[in-house]
């Protein structure tokens, strides 16, 4: 404990310089702007900034990406409250009570609640990162190939089941991602799978161009196809949070922080699920249920705390298992790999101080978010006025640079285009994107561990089901699949109701 605090203090002290402070301020502000602008998501922001920070030292680069991530998830609430348009999918829940408050002339109070909830949520989640990451990291050290195989399958199944919409399409998207990840040379024999004689395809599909395409280009196409114009108006009062709003709902804040962080640790679920789950739990436990949907302070606080607590939560499995808890965390994982860091079970052995550096980064980003949340209200509102016709081509140019810059391959621009079109079509057909991305990210983990496991057991699949942790993960995966089948879920529900 004391050792951890010492390392955290050392990390905070290491970041206490002008250069770092400058990076934190601009990155958090940029993150808030990205989040506030509908059509730009946290995933897109982190993916594009991964390219920009490629040449920086790894600690500066990861700090900037975390600031973008933290800022973007918070920034989405601005447009949700003021315009009834969620800036990011994560802030959709905040429109339910944020916009009614704004219509009552309490937009400033709503933004104050959002700022306080978001700040406390990230702080709660960050505390969980500091406490649980070393513990989970040690547990992960006991994992072998069989366990990692199930971790990857579990991630795909959970993301498919719970990331919104049709679970069947979620599983399809996940396995499509896994399938695409097999392209290129495999690890054992260096055999180029599905390369068809192309040197570029033999090199495999790089994660970053694919992410930039699926989240950037697809978003541009979707935004340009969508509704053209809707004028919304609001007035803004004081944005300083009221102490009473925080003290009165401390139970809601703690509950939402816990739910948000837990959901963050589940592979591929992300901030939107965290916000909705926290909101639903707060409503169930509330003494003022009738206010929900009509401008409930408690409801807005729950949604904001939940979504922001999810951010550090999603980083926990990145650090311990190299499995992302959300789509932006998947990009963060890719960025860590690009910078030569080694997220996963070995991190806690090789560079334990990095965990506390991440905690320090989250704390610094959270403080910067609080600063901007309380000060820069009006300039942020002006940014919302930028018409999409002028914003989207610039986003497209950024996507092109983002896809190209890491490896300087024109092929990666075509990969971005392909994933942009694929992402657009799949979204139109109501396929969730998170399992697709998770499939791409986890493909390598699943591939290597399935082959290694089969090779170790001489083709015997029983160790995949009989080793204790494998058995538990297999059982949870099976239950998740069964739970997503409505007739089965109804029967189980009926059984419990009868009792």
Partner 1 sequence: MTVETDSFASGSPPPSPRADLVTAAVFVAISLTVLALALQMPTFTDRGGDPYTAPGIVPGFYGLVLAGISSILAVRALRRGALKRQAETAAPSGLYSNARLAIAAGLGLVYTVGLVGRVPFWLASALFIAAFVGAFEWDPGATPKARLRRLAVAAVIGLVAGGAAHAVFQEIFLVRLP
In the range 403-422, which residues lie near partner 1 by CB under 8 A? 404-405, 408, 410, 413-414, 416-417, 420-421
We find the least distance from the C-beta atom of residue 458 to partner 1, in angstroms, to be 7
| Shortest Å distance, C-beta 246 to partner 1 | 25
Nearer to partner 1, 397 or 492 (CB): 397
Nearest distance, CB of residue 240 and partner 1, angstroms: 16
Binding mask 141-180 for partner 1 (x = CB under 8 A): ---------------------------xx-xx--xx-xx-
**Residue 31 to residue 47: CA distance in whole angstroms:** 12
Q: Which is nearer to partner 1, 275 or 416 (CB)?
A: 416
Q: Name the minimum Å distance from CB 382 to partner 1.
A: 9
Torsion angle of alpha carbons 35, 53, 409, 319, nearest 10°? Answer: -80
Applying the rule CB under 8 A, the residues between 85 and 104 that interact with partner 1 are 85
CA distance 67 to 32: 9
Task: Compare residues 225 and 498 and give the one whose CB is closer to partner 1.
Answer: 225
Instruction: Point out which span in 128-136, 239-247, 360-368, 453-461 binds partner 1 (CB under 8 A).
Output: 453-461
Whose CA is closest to 43, among 89, 82, 77, 85?
Answer: 89
Give Cα 371 distance to the centre of its chain: 23
Q: What mask of x and - would describe binding to partner 1 in positions 58 to 87, judged by CB under 8 A?
A: ---------------------x--xx-x--
Helices H, strands E: what count in the chain? 25, 2
- DSSP letters, 41-60, are -HHHHHHHHHHHTTTS-HHH
Are the CB atoms for 326 and 337 separated by under 8 Å? no
Q: Please name every residue paired with 192 in a beta bridge, in sequence order, or none if there are none.
A: 185
- In the chain the first and final C-alpha atoms are separated, in Å, by 45
How many of the chain's residues bind partner 1 (CB under 8 A)? Answer: 81
Residue 346 as a binder of partner 1 (CB under 8 A): the answer is no
Q: How far is the CB of 182 from partner 1 (least distance, A)?
A: 4
Please tell me the distance from the alpha carbon of residue 381 to that of residue 446, in angstroms, as a whole number.
Answer: 45
Q: Does 307 bind partner 1 (CB under 8 A)?
A: no
Q: Which residues pair with 185 in a beta bridge?
A: 192
Question: 74: exposed, middle or buried (C-beta count within 10 Å: 0-12, 13-18, 19+)?
Answer: buried
Token couple for 479: 């239950």
Nearer to partner 1, 166 or 367 (CB): 166
Q: What is the DSSP letter of 83?
A: H
Tokens describing residue 81: 């409250």
483 touches partner 1 (CB under 8 A): no
DSSP 284: H
Q: Draw the binding track, 13-52, toward partner 1 (x: CB under 8 A; -: no contact).
A: -------------------------xx-----------xx
Print the binding letters for residues 387-406 with partner 1: x by CB under 8 A, - otherwise.
Answer: xxxx-xxx-xxx-xx--xx-
331 binds partner 1 (CB under 8 A): no
The residue (of 132 and 418) whose beta carbon lies closer to partner 1 is 418
User: Which CB, 458 or 468, lies closer to partner 1?
Assistant: 458
Give 429 or 492: the residue with its C-beta nearer to partner 1.
429
Query: Which residues in 425-444 contact partner 1 (CB under 8 A)?
Result: 428-430
Enter the DSSP assignment of 475.
H
Residue 184's DSSP bridge partners are 193
Within 196-235, the residues that bind partner 1 by CB under 8 A are 217, 220-235
Shortest separation between residue 7's beta carbon and partner 1, angstroms: 30
């Amino acid at each position: 404990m004391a050792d951890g605090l010492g390392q955290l203090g050392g990390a905070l002290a290491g970041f206490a310089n002008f250069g770092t402070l400058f990076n934190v301020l601009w990155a958090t502000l940029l993150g808030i702007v990205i989040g506030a602008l509908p059509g730009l998501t946290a995933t897109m922001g982190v993916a594009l900034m991964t390219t920009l920070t490629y040449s920086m030292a790894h600690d500066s680069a990861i700090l900037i990406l975390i600031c973008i991530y933290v800022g973007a998830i918070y920034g989405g609430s601005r447009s949700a409250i003021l315009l009834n348009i969620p800036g990011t999918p994560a802030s959709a829940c905040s429109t339910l009570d944020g916009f009614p408050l704004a219509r009552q002339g309490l937009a400033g109070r709503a933004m104050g609640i959002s700022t306080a909830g978001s700040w406390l949520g990230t702080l709660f989640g960050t505390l969980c990162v500091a406490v649980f990451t070393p513990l989970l990291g040690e547990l992960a050290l006991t994992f072998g190939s069989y366990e990692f195989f199930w971790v990857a399958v579990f991630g795909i199944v959970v993301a498919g089941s719970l990331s919104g919409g049709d679970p069947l399409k979620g599983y399809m998207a996940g396995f499509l991602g896994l399938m695409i990840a097999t392209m290129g040379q495999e690890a054992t024999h260096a055999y180029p799978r599905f390369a068809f004689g192309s040197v570029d395809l033999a090199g495999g599909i790089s994660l970053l161009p694919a992410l930039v395409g699926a989240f950037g280009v697809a978003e541009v196409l979707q935004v340009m196809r969508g509704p053209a114009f809707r004028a919304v108006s609001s007035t803004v009062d004081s944005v300083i949070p009221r102490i009473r709003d925080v003290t009165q709902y401390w139970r809601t804040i703690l509950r939402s922080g816990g739910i948000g962080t837990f959901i963050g640790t589940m592979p591929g679920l992300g901030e939107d699920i965290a916000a909705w789950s926290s909101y639903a739990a707060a409503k169930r436990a509330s003494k003022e249920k009738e206010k929900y949907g009509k401008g409930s302070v408690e409801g807005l606080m729950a949604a904001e705390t939940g979504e922001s607590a999810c951010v550090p939560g999603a980083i926990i499995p990145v650090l311990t298992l190299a499995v992302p808890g959300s789509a932006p965390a998947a990009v963060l994982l890719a960025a860590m790999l690009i910078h030569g860091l080694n997220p996963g079970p070995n991190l806690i052995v090789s560079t334990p101080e990095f965990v506390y550096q991440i905690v320090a980064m989250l704390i610094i980003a959270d403080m910067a978010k609080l600063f901007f949340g309380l000060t820069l209200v009006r300039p942020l509102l002006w940014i919302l006025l930028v018409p999409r016709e002028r914003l989207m081509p610039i986003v497209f140019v950024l996507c092109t640079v983002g896809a190209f810059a890491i490896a300087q391959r024109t092929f990666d621009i075509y990969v971005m285009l392909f994933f942009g079109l694929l992402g657009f079509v799949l979204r139109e057909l109501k396929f969730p994107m998170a399992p697709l991305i998770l499939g791409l990210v986890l493909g390598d983990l699943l591939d290597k561990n399935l082959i290694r496991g089969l090779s170790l057991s001489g083709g015997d699949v029983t160790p995949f089901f009989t080793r204790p942790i494998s058995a538990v993960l297999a059982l949870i995966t099976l239950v998740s699949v069964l739970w997503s089948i409505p007739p089965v879920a109804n029967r189980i529900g009926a059984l419990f109701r009868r009792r």
